[in-house]
Structure 1
Amino acid sequence: MASIPGLDPGAPGPSGAGGDSGGNAYEFTVGELSIELKRAVEDRFGHVRLRGEISGWKTPASGHAYFTLKDEDACIDAVMWRTSRARLDFAPEDGLEVIAQGRVTTYPGRSKYQIVVERMAVAGAGALMALLEKRKAALGAEGLFAPERKRALPFLPRRIGIVTSPTGAVIRDMLHRLEERFPRNVLLWPVKVQGEGAAGEVARGIAGLNALPDAPDLIIVARGGGSIEDLWAFNEEAVVRAVAASGIPVISAVGHETDTTLCDFAADHRAPTPTAAAERAVPVRAELAALIADQAARLDGAMRQGQRACAERAAMLAARLPAPATLIEARQQRLDDLAARLPGPKTIFDMRAERLAALEDRLRRAGMQARRDAARDLQRVSARLGPDLLQRSWLRHDQRLKDTCRVLASLDPRRPLQRGFALVEGPGGRPVTSAARAGELASLMLRFSDGALSVRTAAGSDPDDPSGGSGPGEPNSAQRERPKRTKAPKPAPPGQPDLF
């Protein structure tokens, strides 16, 4: 690295001495100083391995990861670019202790140093087991592992969905075992079973099989054996929740018999190996056929034995019954006795005729009595309806008719004309009830008791006519006098109420 004046300790000062009085010191810009610090840090710490606990893990839309590595004494900011993060075989989260490899550098924009992580691994199986127990307790508290949530597997599924890697021995072993036991329609959903993004693919595979229109009757989530790091994708929360939310029964077949993941606790059934999952999914066709044949033989034998028992019992009951001829003879003799005791047909007819005549006579007497009772009732009513009652009814209706005629006469609109009033009508004989309406019309009709008179209003007068459009002897609108108040009408005669 080239030396910069003022930075090299051996550079002479302004007086030629080794020290620097400050007057000739090199003046850095902020950018130059940041660059020099960046070079010094990267040259000294170009490659480091750092052990610490993840805190504040964030992954923005760019795909890069920003977090902090800390221990009980200090902390350092860390960044992991998207390409390096894609190579991780586990899902980092806060609180996980890891070993990070990378280079220390500075970030001039904020005057801080940080480590650029290129590789990262979990710091031993103990940290993973602690994280696993913590996650298991949290998910178990939500009831995702409750035994009452487990569902029974179908005895013979029509279609089986398998979520696993399309390559490898797992899928081949499962298909081979299904073919041997009971061939079924298999739907494979290919996913990654290890590394970055494996948990998300497995969760989407389970949800995708549930969303199919022709969904399978059973789902198997399978993977071969491996270390706890290799199987970590099946301990992720996304996979556990997808298995718990599945509407289709799920068999978890992850790892070997000694391997246990959180997916096993959430599934409806755990198989020790993928091959065992295939065996649990379907029965053996030959054994099933033999069982059906044995059950059919037992059913046939039971039916035959039942038929023989029924035949024997029928024979025993028939032996205890008397002869049919004996039963018929006794009934025939009783029938003859009853026939001899019955009267002849002519006697029965005569008896019915006498009874009919008696009934007819009773009906005739009852009808005559009813007519006599009706005549007596009519005489009593006629006696009550005398001439006085009819006279009073006629007078009452006559008085009501006279009262109605007087009311109609009082309501006649032409009757007030006899007392000096006039009826003002417009075109078509319609009454005019306001001065404003009369001023709008060209002519009016004044109707008196002895005739009618047509007059013209100011709206229909000729402007050149000095008389204002009134006829001979007719006052114009300005000369009209207000009508005199009429006297109050005389009171109505006694017995007739005042209608106004």
Structure 2
Amino acid sequence: MNATLLNTPEYTVSELGLALKRTVENAYGYVRVRGEISGFKRATSGHLYLCLKDAGAVIDGVMWKGGAAALPFRPEDGLEVIATGKLTTYPGRSKYQIVIERMEPAGAGALMALLEARKAKLAAEGLFDPARKRALPYIPRVIGVITSPTGAVIRDILHRLSDRFPRRVLVWPVVVQGEAAAGQVAAAVAGFNALVRGGQIPRPDLLIVARGGGSVEDLWAFNEEIVVRAVAASTIPVITAVGHETDTTLVDFAGDHRAPTPTAAAERAVPVLADLRLTLGGLGLRLDRAAARGVELRAERATALARRLPTPSALLGLRQQRADELADRLPRALRAAAAGWRARYDRAGGALQRPLLDRRVVLERTRVERTAERLRAGGRALLANDAAKLGRAGAGLRPALLGVRRDRAVAALGSAARLLETLGPNNVLKRGYAYVTTRDGHVITSAGAARAKVALRLTFDDGTVDVTTGAASPPEDRPVQPSVARPAARPAISGPVQERLL
């Protein structure tokens, strides 16, 4: 065997891997590599893994969590970038790679190409359709602002709102630049929409998404799909004010209104209170003048119509004259009516003379007696007719039917006899009672009647007993009846007395 080979030192695999690692790192150190991103992946730890490629080669790249959080844009496949980092190897896979510490788009052209492609994609989904944009509330009660809480943007918005029309403002603090900016802005828009009306935290009537000016990379968070979709899905109207007047981001196309600056967004959110007061004052004066003019016109019209109406004297003159005539005729009419009733009374009084009444009584008595005689004769004839009919009907009755009727009559008679015996006075006397009569048999039913009689008879169940009441004077314990004043006799009526008619 060759002596040279025998003298070559031996390496373990790990030693060789570490030697290669030191050689590559010492030979190249920090490098800047330009290439297109491919196979981009974000790990749950926050580290970024990707490949940089061009037409002839591929190199793996990794970017740790700290550097990834400071990126002004979101890396994605197909984006050409310039990565600055340290070239090293990964002995576990026998691969070399670049540990990226800083990364930036390869140029404005590449970023703009990516922006145009994303814009076309979102526009095709209808997120930028003008028909989706909603009208802003004229005077919102609560305004939600999504921006950095430490920048000049929020101070400009609050100052402008207080000058124009003070409103309640809710600020949702977010970072507006870097890798985490897009997620925080999208979460803030969704959070404001999740608030319920009447809750502990009031739900805004209007949202303002604002950020100050910067480069395309600085504003790139507002071009991310997550932010654009969140703004497009908002049920609360959104004003976007990202960058300066010349800056345009995709979120401006998705919002309901684009303001060139944050200050302009505050001006668009509320009207000027002083102008409103001035306008209301002018409208109030116009309303007062219009009301006064309306009253004047109606008064003039009423006056013109009143001239065409007849005077009260012309309307009431004929009726007053008629009333005077009736007033003159009323006494005469009353006297004539009284004279007529007096004449009728005199005629009726003449018909009430004694001979005429006696003759009328005789005639009526005769008529009544004749009517009674006719009724008696008719009754006898009717009874005879009924008797004849009964005789004819009885002749046709069968003996069996007569027997049934006889038995029923006998049963009814027996029942009546038993009832008479039960309710009769003799049955009552058996229970110890007695009844009082006079000697000649008249029943005494009251104590006063008994006191008026001297001789009485008490009838018991087994016989009678004659008794006397004693003296005719009342007993000592008899209550004395108070004397009742009799009404005075009516005075005699002078003149002839009219006798009863009947």
With the shorter chain as reference, the TM-score category is 0.5 to 0.7
For residues 424-463 of structure 1, what are the structure 2 equivalents within 5 Å?
none
Whole-angstrom CA distance in 1 between matches of 2:185 and 2:322? 92
User: Is the counterpart of residue 70 in structure 1 residue 53 in structure 2?
Assistant: yes
User: Is the counterpart of residue 305 in structure 1 residue 293 in structure 2?
Assistant: yes
* Aligned-pair CA distance for 1:45: 2.1
Whole-angstrom CA distance in 1 between matches of 2:225 and 2:79? 15
Whole-angstrom CA distance in 2 between matches of 1:66 and 1:332? 116
Whole-angstrom CA distance in 2 between matches of 1:31 and 1:127? 41
User: Is the counterpart of residue 149 in structure 1 residue 98 in structure 2?
Assistant: no
User: Is the counterpart of residue 123 in structure 1 residue 106 in structure 2?
Assistant: yes
Deviation sequence 1:177-202 (CA, Å, 0-9, x none): 11111111111111111112011111
User: Is the counterpart of residue 56 in structure 1 residue 44 in structure 2?
Assistant: no
Whole-angstrom CA distance in 2 between matches of 1:167 and 1:75? 43
Q: TM-score, normalised by structure 1?
A: 0.61
Q: TM-score, normalised by structure 2?
A: 0.61
CA-atom RMSD, angstroms? 2.3
* Aligned-pair CA distance for 1:334: 11
Whole-angstrom CA distance in 2 between matches of 1:306 and 1:274? 48
* Aligned-pair CA distance for 1:283: 1.1
* Aligned-pair CA distance for 1:256: 0.9
Partner of 1:283: 271
Instruction: Write the letter of the residue equivalent to 1:315.
Output: T
Deviation sequence 1:270-328 (CA, Å, 0-9, x none): 11111111111111111110000000100111111111111111111121123344445
Whole-angstrom CA distance in 1 between matches of 2:140 and 2:170? 12
Partner of 1:244: 232
* Aligned-pair CA distance for 1:159: 1.2
User: Is the counterpart of residue 233 in structure 1 residue 221 in structure 2?
Assistant: yes
Whole-angstrom CA distance in 2 between matches of 1:316 and 1:155? 47
Partner secondary structure for residue 275 of structure 2: helix
Whole-angstrom CA distance in 2 between matches of 1:257 and 1:35? 55
| Structure 1 alignment gaps of length 5 or more | 1-12, 337-500
Partner of 1:135: 118
Partner secondary structure for residue 203 of structure 1: helix
Whole-angstrom CA distance in 2 between matches of 1:26 and 1:191? 59
Aligned length: 321
Deviation sequence 1:419-476 (CA, Å, 0-9, x none): xxxxxxxxxxxxxxxxxxxxxxxxxxxxxxxxxxxxxxxxxxxxxxxxxxxxxxxxxx
* Aligned-pair CA distance for 1:333: 9.9
Larger radius of gyration: 2
Partner of 1:268: 256
Whole-angstrom CA distance in 2 between matches of 1:25 and 1:173? 74
* Aligned-pair CA distance for 1:145: 0.8
Deviation sequence 1:374-426 (CA, Å, 0-9, x none): xxxxxxxxxxxxxxxxxxxxxxxxxxxxxxxxxxxxxxxxxxxxxxxxxxxxx
Partner of 2:151: 168
Whole-angstrom CA distance in 1 between matches of 2:34 and 2:209? 34
Whole-angstrom CA distance in 2 between matches of 1:59 and 1:147? 35
Partner of 1:319: 307
* Aligned-pair CA distance for 1:240: 0.8
* Aligned-pair CA distance for 1:262: 0.8
* Aligned-pair CA distance for 1:208: 1.5
User: Is the counterpart of residue 190 in structure 1 residue 206 in structure 2?
Assistant: no
Whole-angstrom CA distance in 2 between matches of 1:124 and 1:268? 31
Partner secondary structure for residue 55 of structure 2: coil
Partner of 2:246: 258
Q: 2:88 aligns with which of 105, 110, 114?
A: 105
Instruction: Write the letter of the residue equivalent to 1:110.
Output: R
Deviation sequence 1:144-169 (CA, Å, 0-9, x none): 11101111111111111111111122
Whole-angstrom CA distance in 2 between matches of 1:73 and 1:333? 129
Partner of 2:284: 296
Deviation sequence 1:41-77 (CA, Å, 0-9, x none): 2222221110011111111212111111111222111
Deviation sequence 1:119-152 (CA, Å, 0-9, x none): 1111121111111111111111111111011111
Whole-angstrom CA distance in 1 between matches of 2:14 and 2:149? 54
Partner secondary structure for residue 73 of structure 2: coil
Between 1:161-170 and 1:28-37, the stretch displaced more is 28-37
Instruction: Write the letter of the residue equivalent to 2:112.
Output: M
Instruction: Write the letter of the residue equivalent to 2:32.
Output: R
Whole-angstrom CA distance in 1 between matches of 2:140 and 2:75? 38
Instruction: Write the letter of the residue equivalent to 2:217.
Output: E
Whole-angstrom CA distance in 2 between matches of 1:39 and 1:333? 139
User: Is the counterpart of residue 216 in structure 1 residue 199 in structure 2?
Assistant: no
* Aligned-pair CA distance for 1:330: 6.7
Partner secondary structure for residue 170 of structure 1: helix
Instruction: Write the letter of the residue equivalent to 2:210.
Output: A
Whole-angstrom CA distance in 2 between matches of 1:303 and 1:219? 42
Instruction: Write the letter of the residue equivalent to 2:83.
Output: A
Partner secondary structure for residue 75 of structure 2: coil
* Aligned-pair CA distance for 1:105: 1.8
Change over 3 Å in CA distance of 1:77–1:331 after alignment to 2: farther
